[in-house]
A and B are shown apart, each in its own frame.
Chain A
Amino acid sequence: DAGITQSPRYKITETGRQVTLMCHQTWSHSYMFWYRQDLGHGLRLIYYSAAADITDKGEVPDGYVVSRSKTENFPLTLESATRSQTSVYFCASSPEGYEQYFGPGTRLTVT
């Protein structure tokens, strides 16, 4: 089906482990984004990408790494997970950089 998907939907990991959250969109949108949603902070931008091989930091990039070798994929890697990275992670894409269309989210728990 067309759209934007995220995997896994739920993940529990231990402190210090590397974790990769996947994001895939079938619309061939140029722009892609990663947000985290936390109580009291709303949605905050982690990283974004304007096209394949072009990425830039958002508001809270520390501890995260992204890559975008293909237009449709935008994985987010937590290099060494910490408890403060327990959150709900949303991926989004945008055709022209205006309205963004969000994936279903990944709920990550770091123990």
Chain B
Amino acid sequence: AQKVTQAQTEISVVEKEDVTLDCVYETRDTTYYLFWYKQPPSGELVFLIRRNSFDEQNEISGRYSWNFQKSTSSFNFTITASQVVDSAVYFCALSDLPMEYGNKLVFGAGTILRVKS
């Protein structure tokens, strides 16, 4: 069965600090997809990144970076030089179903990030 664990319920940092959000997943499939979503206080869910299980390259997008390690079943998300606008709930999600079934997502419980000025 699929499972996503985000052990950090809430993290508070001061602006300009770096912060890493942890995500550990469980799946029996060799082909799967991992995602990060952001939910700001306004409530909408914003897609951030998708990573395929066969691509372990780390990715950087501006102040955001993602570290995918199959050996530890982790897909961690780092925000460099955090800003107040980064305050949100961040969800890690996993899908290991064939595409024709719509890659149903299993979400972690989310990590609340509070960035203080």
Binding site for B on A (CB under 8 A): 31, 33, 40, 42-45, 48-50, 56, 58, 88, 90, 92, 94, 96-105
Interface of B is mostly: mixed
- Which one, B35, B37, B44, B99, contacts A96 given CB within 8 A? B99
A104 CA to B43 CA in the complex, in Å?
7
Partner of B44, one of A31, A50, A100, A104: A104
B contacts with A, residue count (CB < 8 A):
22
* B101 CB to nearest chain A CB (Å): 7
Q: How many A-B residue pairs have CB under 8 A?
A: 60
Q: A42-B91, A42-B110, A50-B100 are in contact. Are A100 and B105 (CB under 8 A)?
A: yes
Residues of chain B touching chain A, judged by Cβ–Cβ distance below 8 Å, are: 33, 35, 37, 43-47, 50, 91, 95, 99-105, 107-110
Q: Is the CB of A50 within 8 A of B102?
A: yes
A42–B109 CB distance below 8 A: yes
